[in-house]
A and B are shown apart, each in its own frame.
Chain A
Amino acid sequence: MRRLRQFPFHIIVFILPAAAIYTAFMIYPLFDSLRLSLHGAQEGSGEVFVGLQNYGRLVADSLYAPRFWGALRHNVLFFVIHMLVQNPVGLLLAALLSARHLSGLAVYRTLLFAPTVLSFVIVGFIWQLMLSPLWGIAGGLLRAAGLAAYFRPWLGLEGSALVTLSLISVWQFVGIPLMLFHAALIGIPDDLLEAARVDGASGWRVFWRIEFPLILPVVGLVAILTYVGNFNAFDLIYTTQGALAGPNFSTDILGTFFYRTFFGFQLQLGNPVMGATVAGVMFLLILAGVLPYLFVWQRRIEVYEL
């Protein structure tokens, strides 16, 4: 009995360093930030508990509410574009890459994944240059295709800037769904598909009736990774449009709104408490995606042992 109660020392030595760093610089700050969002900062007297008052200000006060709802709306659109463009394109390319006897597979994989390893900063500037009316790469290509009339400075127009930035982000990150789908597809045993084909099923039918259901767990993983990544995005917008997410806040998403609220910009002073409140909303949004994924999707989805 005594030996059972005494916790083996070496286990502590193995786990403690990782747990300590992780707790001190990730878990504690997350909770401390949530705690802070429930407090008001008063001159000189420290923090006072104010309940959900800060959240109330965020969604209703005229100083915060219009920007907050705008950022949320833009963020949803940002996410929807990723789901509708990035993931289907990733799936299509993955399906093509998984074809038998595909020559040049390694070269294709390397090239298609390359943009994903670049930083947002580089990607943002690359596309700023590509789309610049000054340099005329995009304009020139459209002219060559006889579509010169359709060229616009997309990043500079309120109506098109957010969609353009979403597509730039899609360009960069299509490699992630591509690789995850590709991995799942090449994991499907050959005899399964062979059997369907012997029965006379077309490639298209085989894909949607056999392969797609088998990779459904990965579809969920890709969706949740996209969701978390998109509702946490910041760098690309900050690099191309600045902290003010112009033109006229049309590309403002929660990440840039969080940055401005916390740090301030131009005439508005930074406010750590309201910053923590914005982070609190982002935290709840991400939980609202992650928890159903973990507890509903992952439980209910049928996983076939292959």
Chain B
Amino acid sequence: MSTPSGLPTPRVISAAPSPPYRGKALGVHAILVGYALVAILPVLLIVMNSFKTRAAIFTHPYLPPLSGLFSPIGYQTMFERAHFARYFANSAIVAGAAMTLILLLGAMAGFALAEYRFRGNAWVGLYLALGIMIPIRLGTVSILRIMSDLRLVNTLFALILVYAAQGLPLAVFILQQFMRQVPRDLKDAARIDGMSEYRVFWLVLPLVRPAVATVAVFTMIPIWNDLWFPLILAPGEATKTVTLGAQQFIGQFLSDWNAILASLTLAMVPVLAAYMLFSRSLIRGLTTGAFK
């Protein structure tokens, strides 16, 4: 299947604009609005109620935190009891370092596979692509052994290495396809000018920036949201990520509704904010066929 490029052209699903078309359009909007509410209402309810007094959460769950209903008590409890700032820092370090490794090393390998004809090229490509479909979790028993042999249990480094290994296959696969589309003339001109192969790589890299952004978003989300590896490789207080921290904190405070709602909101808002910021490139990545 060819990959559609650039902006998709809008197209028809129903008959040409005529009276029945208006009715149809209305029906389409009704279903979409209905489902959009299903998707977003639970999230809104959590955020709204996190700013209310305990009584107001139960008596007026659907109202925004107006004066009289407003209370920051949940956030106070949370900041006193949990080290969310540290959890955030841990998550940011892990996700940032793993992403840097994935993007840089993935781009290098993708460049080599796209650029050079060498013996075993196809086999190396296939080998690196195996990991796209096989979940890394299935090797957990051995991963824990390796990490404890390397004395990396309860370090952020363990998570960074595992997430890099997890994200590389897809990154190599996608970046390789985009590297292929960079015009040959440009690279050959650079070589004639005497640039080394490494310089040629740095020349090509900025040209595939949209693909790099797509890969960044796709690898970032599962890393940030993962519970499994933090739980197994780095459950210590000093290395907890936001996802693990939220899971354990909320587990302990199941009767303190203010604290639960506040910590859910706090765990959710950065992800949703980043999503709103990057949703264009994320959705463009999905809809222009990075996955084919």
Residue B40 CB within 8 A of the other chain: yes
Q: Are A32 and B109 in contact (CB under 8 A)?
A: no
Cα–Cα distance between A112 and B34 once the two chains are bound (Å): 10
Cα–Cα distance between A249 and B58 once the two chains are bound (Å): 31
Chain A interface: which of B5-13, B66-74, B76-84, B186-194?
B5-13
- Chain B positions within 8 Å of A183 at CB level: 4, 286-289
Residue B100 CB within 8 A of the other chain: no
Residue B143 CB within 8 A of the other chain: yes
Whether A135 contacts B57 in the complex (CB less than 8 A), given A36-B141, A99-B13, A117-B271, comes out as yes
Cα–Cα distance between A125 and B262 once the two chains are bound (Å): 12
Residue A24 CB within 8 A of the other chain: yes
Residue B146 CB within 8 A of the other chain: yes
Q: Mark B78-114, 1 if CB is under 8 A from A, else 0.
A: 0000000000000000000000010001101101110
Whether A10 contacts B105 in the complex (CB less than 8 A), given A93-B32, A108-B36, A203-B14, comes out as no
Residue of A11, A112, A115, A135 with most chain B CB atoms under a 10 A cut-off: A11
The one of B61, B128, B287 in contact with A19, judged by C-beta atoms closer than 8 angstroms, is: B128
Number of chain A interface residues as a range: 35 or more
- Chain A positions within 8 Å of B112 at CB level: 10-11, 14-15
- Chain A positions within 8 Å of B9 at CB level: 186, 190
Residue B38 CB within 8 A of the other chain: yes
Cα–Cα distance between A101 and B24 once the two chains are bound (Å): 12
Name the residue of chain A whose CB is nearest to the CB of B197. A10
Residue of A15, A28, A283 with most chain B CB atoms under a 10 A cut-off: A15
- Chain B positions within 8 Å of A304 at CB level: 1
- Chain B positions within 8 Å of A26 at CB level: 131, 136, 139, 165-166, 169
Residue A88 CB within 8 A of the other chain: no
Q: Are A32 and B142 in contact (CB under 8 A)?
A: yes
Q: Are A126 and B42 in contact (CB under 8 A)?
A: yes
Q: Are B31 and A18 in contact (CB under 8 A)?
A: no
- Chain A positions within 8 Å of B4 at CB level: 183, 186-187, 306
Q: Are B11 and A186 in contact (CB under 8 A)?
A: yes
- Chain B positions within 8 Å of A117 at CB level: 221, 225, 271-272, 275
Residue A118 CB within 8 A of the other chain: yes
A-B residue pairs, 10 tightest by C-beta: A29-B139, A119-B225, A14-B112, A29-B142, A25-B165, A183-B287, A186-B8, A18-B109, A32-B142, A187-B4
The contact sample of 5 A-B pairs, CB cut-off 8 A, is A21-B168, A30-B138, A114-B272, A121-B225, A129-B46
Residues of B within 8 A of A (CB): 1-4, 8-17, 24-25, 28-29, 31-32, 35-36, 38-40, 42-43, 45-46, 57-58, 61, 101, 105-106, 108-109, 111-113, 116, 118, 124, 127-128, 130-131, 133-143, 145-146, 161-162, 164-166, 168-169, 172, 196-198, 201, 221, 224-228, 232, 243, 246-247, 250, 257, 260-261, 264, 267-268, 271-272, 275-276, 279-280, 282-283, 286-289, 291-292
Residues of A within 8 A of B (CB): 7-8, 10-11, 13-15, 17-19, 21-22, 24-30, 32-33, 36, 89, 92-93, 95-102, 104, 106, 108-115, 117-122, 125-127, 129-130, 134-137, 140, 171, 179-180, 182-184, 186-188, 190, 193-194, 197, 202-203, 206-207, 217, 221, 224, 228, 232, 234-235, 238-239, 255, 258, 262-263, 272, 275-276, 279, 282-283, 286-287, 290, 303-306
